[in-house]
Amino acid sequence: MPETLQRTDRAARLARARAIVGAGKICPAERITDLLEAVIVSGDRVALEGDNQKQADFLAASLAKLDPVRVHDLHMVQSVLALPDHLAVFERGIASRLDFAFAGPQSRRLAELVAAKSLRIGAIHTYLELYARMLVDLTPQVALIVADKADRDGNLYTGPNTEDTPTIAEAAAFRGGIVVAQVNEIVDRLPRVDIPGDWVDLVVQSPRPYAIDPLFTRDPARIRNENILMAMMAIAAVYEPYQVARLNHGIGYATAAIELILPTFAARRGLKGKIARNFVLNPHPTLIPAIEAGFVDNVYCFGSELGMERYVASRPHVFPVGADGNLRSNRALAQVAGQYACDLFVGATLQIDAQGNSSTATKDRITGFGGAPNMGADARGRRHPSPAWLRAGEEAGERLRGRKLVVQMVQTRQPNGAPSFVERLDAFDLASSAGFALPPVMVHGDDVSHVITERGVCNLLRCRSPQEREAALRAIAGDTDFGKRQDADAIDGLRRRGIVMLPSDLGIDVATATRDWLAAKTIDDLVSASGGLYVPPARFLS
């Protein structure tokens, strides 16, 4: 049988599976490796669910135990590399090619494996891009997914963390692929059906609940005065003048600081009901005080957050809560909402160059992009207006359309002391060494509207030449080598035109940028603000 036909021979694969599990869909946990070797063929594209929170960790570990003589040269298609087992399949020769979106804690090891030619990266995708290609030309022959519960017909309940599951399952199920689900529990009746059973071929109950990381939780106690100063400038220079009502926050202490000063600093400026009303983001605990203060109308979620389950369930007027009483999240739909329904994205990066291009792919870390390029791109298909979109377009000199606000908030130096501003991104060298056709730029400079550091804000929408953009970025780059090459006279001119804004230009006294502005200063304060409904993960408890 030709190889291409063999890989799509669904009936033969299921017949081999039946020899292991019998007539039903339930596979005993101790037979999972045998099952995977029965349904996976060398050279297959395999989608392994592992987003930046929940992980099909039992299936990942079982995949890494396959016999590389029997199963090899797999093409892994997955959102996130978060677990050692995600790379073990390459180290053991089970897989050889990878298409992914984000690497997170495995970013350094991934860079080492790429340098050693132990794996070949097809592309570093955005989430939406990877999902789209799963439906077009990266369709998985086998999808390994994860859910909270299943019934014996294979119907799945994903609970508050639906995340990537529907997209991966649909991509495989409707192209003759095999869908295997790892679940925490097999029950007679589900609270709700998130994935119908006729999309799912096989189910295994994991010996342990699936791994999930409270990735979006930031302890207010670790927010520094510099973060608060940057948050104050963001509100004064961006949120307030553009009347930003619909927005997405990335992960970080600067955005956590913004969330925590909405009920204080923003309220003092009379902005309640005018800004930050509609969010697309996970249920950040640091958003609790703003929700309780009536700042936030609604939040649509990529996923959930550990410890926030009871709080979210008790606020169905804010979060998308189903009849079962739990959040329903969806990463693909949230990416679309963040790209088209939001007026503002605030993110961070590891490096920014002289034209505002940014990347998290550096010499020794291939972190990937996740959703930042989707959130941080001007959606040129957008047609509906809003005050923020129209004003940004006007400032950029657009006559027929508006512009999305794309803000990079980054301190002039990373926590390890490395400069955030560089003359040349490491991404260019990485492209050469890894064989990429283009350097892995995360957010392109022509999409960036503002950059905020602890030194000030630059408004790139108002720049009319590459030289102005470069001068504006150098003006807020601090004592980095990049920042030292600034022209003081040029900076004065940029300040007069509102391209560069220092704290004093925004009426902010740096000495007042202290933790006193925080509506919650500790995790315990967040618990209190939630009325005891927020239950922090153990790592955040003293």
User: Residue 442 is part of a domain; what is its CATH number?
Assistant: 3.40.1080.10
CA distance 144 to 34: 15
Tokens representing residue 418 in the block: 């490395």
Tokens representing residue 325 in the block: 């009483």
**Quick one: 168 and 29 in the same domain?**
yes
**Quick one: 177 and 277 in the same domain?**
no
CA distance 119 to 189: 43
**Quick one: 166 and 251 in the same domain?**
no
pTM, full prediction: 0.94
Residue 292 lies in a domain: yes
**Quick one: 227 and 181 in the same domain?**
no
**Quick one: 451 and 493 in the same domain?**
yes
Cβ–Cβ under 8 Å, residues 404 and 389: yes
Residue 534 lies in a domain: no
**Quick one: 336 and 394 in the same domain?**
yes
CA distance 194 to 134: 20
pLDDT given at position 365: 80
CA distance 139 to 213: 27
Residue-number span of the structural domain to which 197 is assigned: 10-205
Taking the chain (542 residues) in runs of 10, the rounded mean pLDDT of each run is: 55 96 96 98 96 92 98 97 96 96 88 90 93 96 98 96 94 97 98 97 97 93 97 98 97 95 98 98 97 98 95 98 94 95 96 95 81 92 96 95 97 94 93 85 96 98 96 96 89 95 97 98 98 94 74
pLDDT given at position 278: 98
Q: What is the signed CA dihedral for 136, 141, 144, 148, rounded to 10 degrees?
A: 70
Residue 82 lies in a domain: yes
Q: Smallest Cα–Cα separation from 352: which of 451, 460, 253, 237? A: 451
**Quick one: 196 and 309 in the same domain?**
no
CA distance 135 to 170: 8
Around 497, how many Cα atoms within 13 Å sit in the side-chain half-sphere? 17
**Quick one: 266 and 381 in the same domain?**
yes
Burial class (CB in 10 A: 0-12, 13-18, 19+), 1: exposed
**Quick one: 160 and 293 in the same domain?**
no
Q: How many domains does the chain divide into?
A: 2
Q: Which of 205, 235, 269 is the last residue of a domain?
A: 205
pLDDT given at position 430: 85
Residue 435 lies in a domain: yes
**Quick one: 51 and 194 in the same domain?**
yes
pLDDT given at position 486: 85
pLDDT given at position 542: 67
Tokens representing residue 514 in the block: 């202290």
Which residue's structure tokens are 């930042």?
372
Cβ–Cβ under 8 Å, residues 198 and 86: no
pLDDT given at position 6: 45
Residue 523 lies in a domain: no
Cβ–Cβ under 8 Å, residues 1 and 11: no
Which residues contact residue 24 at a Cβ distance below 8 angstroms, ignoring those fewer than 6 apart? 152
CA distance 79 to 399: 38
Angle, CA 320 vertex, CA 315 and CA 321 arms, to 5°: 65
Torsion region of 62: left, alpha or beta (phi above 0 gives left; psi -120 to 50 gives alpha): alpha
**Quick one: 299 and 381 in the same domain?**
yes
**Quick one: 407 and 504 in the same domain?**
yes
Residue 535 lies in a domain: no
User: 104 in helix, strand or coil?
Assistant: helix
β-pairing, 457-459 with 450-452? antiparallel
pLDDT given at position 21: 96
Tell me how crowded residue 210 is: count the other CB atoms within 10 A of its CB. 21
Residue 281 lies in a domain: yes
Q: Smallest Cα–Cα separation from 249: which of 241, 239, 240, 264? A: 239
Q: Taking the CA atoms of the chain, what radius of gyration do you get in angstroms?
A: 24
Cβ–Cβ under 8 Å, residues 4 and 104: no
Residue 21 lies in a domain: yes
